[in-house]
Amino acid sequence: MHRPQRERSGLDLAARGVLKLDIRAFHSYDHFHRLVKGSLVVKLKVPDLTERAEAALRGALAEVPFLRPDAEKGLRVAELTTGRPDLELRITPVSNRAPLFVLVEVKRSGEPRYARDAINQLLRYREARPGAYLVFAAPYISPETTALCATEGVGTIDFAGNCFLSFGEVFIRREGRPNPFAKRRGLRSLYAPKSERVLRVLLADPRAAWKTIRLAIEAGVSIGQVAKVKQLLADRELIAIGKNGFTLSNPQALLQDWSRSYRLERSTERGYYSSLPVAEAERAVAKRCAADDVTYALTSFSGAARYAPFVRYQQATIYVGTDPESVAGKIGLKKVDSGANVRILEPYDEGVFYRSQLIDGIAVASAIQVFLDLQSARARGEEASGFLLREVIEKTWEKPARTTRPKPSKRRGQSSSS
């Protein structure tokens, strides 16, 4: 029987060591983006990062009328000295009220680990400048990191246009701007196919403690790949490291973040029409794949219906690992451009089959994979994925971690359920 598998622009020095900000001196964001060889930790020299943070903060504060600078009043940059924050800005309101100092710490990454380091540094700097407002700056800062900083009374600003600044009569909040560096992370990406294999293993059993070598074997990736993923998760404060290995500390946050980056269209989709009812068409595909020793698994609504029978749907969605057109032809499926009631997906990576299982004799993708595919679906995909998360995935996470692991096989994560 078949078993399923898995980047100093022109700032002019003024007299007495004060740098005056001139908006004309700054390059556009688009120019900056072209200079960056994007990665999770943006590879810019510290002065470059500082200037970009300075420009971003200047741009945000320029929107506040009573802070708008002119030739004599407004925003200035104090001369930097060793042991000081990356930026110290003096804001003089147009009304000639007492100036306010803003201390800015700039990091190469906006991940939580870097944010906590910046917060600690800023709090020390404020001892020499009581009452100053603190700001953390980075190329990109996520909503989660913004919330972390806000709880400590620290503002945030990034190069994508997101910011949270709250001091005196000023409140500026801009969010939802996408990460302009995300698409160039390459192998360092947390959501590249081979990295995703590691995530599937971790999310399948969040309480399990993993050593690097054992995790690499289970996920079918290199030790170096596991090490990269581990570091990325540590930067996001999503793992806890102990003497027995490391475990996921917040699987919900990881899964939700992954779902926002996940794209079902990476897999090649073919639409077919079958005269059979959807359930019978699914069984026909399953039977043919089993006979031809082709790896397959139901997913999206087809998979969700096996985990949560309340789900109703009119289109079958099935991963077929090899030669999907041959499988479809052998059971009489007609390829169509519209009106398909059977979707066959040729997976972008075999990791989609990890921990697929037999339910009522048919291979079904893991609940994690089904959740991801539902999140990419139209119509009631969000509703169905939410139910699956609450009623299946989170309940599985509540179970104690397994003390032993199955030996990895050619087709990983095989299991069955009746």
Per-residue pLDDT of the chain (418 residues; tens, 9 = 90+): 444 444 333 323 222 333 333 333 333 333 333 233 333 444 555 568 899 998 999 889 888 887 744 323 334 444 434 468 899 888 877 766 777 889 999 999 999 999 999 999 999 999 989 999 999 999 999 998 999 999 999 999 999 999 999 998 889 999 989 888 765 554 358 999 999 999 999 999 999 999 999 999 999 999 999 999 999 999 889 999 999 999 999 999 999 999 988 999 999 999 999 999 999 999 999 999 999 999 999 999 999 999 988 778 999 999 999 999 999 999 999 999 999 999 999 999 999 999 999 999 999 999 999 999 999 887 688 899 999 999 999 999 988 766 444 444 334 444 544 4
91 and 209 share one domain: no
Region class of 186: left (phi > 0), else alpha (psi between -120 and 50), else beta: left
> What is the structure's pLDDT at 182?
67
- Whichever domain contains 254, its CATH number is 1.10.10.10
Give yes or no: residues 152 and 58 share one domain.
yes
End-of-domain residue from the set 211, 240, 261: 261
Q: 105 with 194, same domain?
A: no
Q: Which residues of 66-75 are buried (b: 16+ CB within 10 A; e: fewer)?
A: ebebeeebbb
Task: Based on the fold, state whether residues 257 and 280 are members of the same structural domain.
Answer: no
User: Which structural domain, as residue segments, surrounds residue 242?
Assistant: 185-261
- Other CB atoms within 10 A of residue 403 CB: 6
pLDDT score recorded for residue 117: 94
List the CATH number of the domain containing 362. Answer: 3.30.460.40
Where among 226, 261, 296 does a domain terminate?
A: 261
pLDDT computed for residue 62 by the predictor: 84
Domain-located, residue 1: no
pLDDT given at position 37: 31
Residue at 345 is within a domain: yes
Q: How many CB atoms lie within 10 A of CB 28?
A: 10
State the pLDDT at residue 38.
30
C-alpha–C-alpha distance, residues 369 and 348, integer Å: 13
Among 261, 281, 311, residue at a domain's last position: 261
Pair 54, 154 in one domain: yes
Number of domains into which the chain is organized: 3
Kindly state whether residues 164 and 20 are assigned to the same domain: yes
Whether residue 255 lies inside any domain: the answer is yes
Query: Which 3-state string (H, E, C) describes 227-293?
Result: HHHHHHHHHCCCEEEECCEEEECCHHHHHHHHHHHCCHHHCEEEEEECCCCHHHHHHHHHHHHHHCC
Same domain (yes/no): 189, 47: no
In a domain, 411, yes or no: no
Residue 412 lies in a domain: no
Residues 275 and 256 in one domain: no
Residue 6 within a domain: no
- Per DSSP, the residues of 318-379 read EEE-S-HHHHHHHTTPEE-SSS-SEEEEE-SSGGGGTT-EEETTEEE--HHHHHHHHHT-ST
**Residue 176: how many other CB atoms lie within 10 Å:** 8
Asked if 206 and 276 sit in the same domain, the reply is no
* Of residues 159, 230, 221, the one with CA closest to residue 188: 230
Indicate whether 413 belongs to any domain: no
Whether residues 252 and 274 share a domain: the answer is no
Residue type, 346: E
Tell how strand 239-242 and strand 75-77 pair up: unpaired
Backbone phi and psi for residue 332, each to the nearest 5 degrees, phi listed first: 75, 20
Does residue 196 form part of some domain? Answer: yes
For position 369, what pLDDT does the model report? 98
Tokens describing residue 210: 């993993």
Copy the structure tokens of residue 213: 């070598």
Same domain, 136 and 233: no
State the pLDDT at residue 239: 96
CB 226 within 8 A of CB 219: yes
- State whether 132 and 217 are in the same domain: no
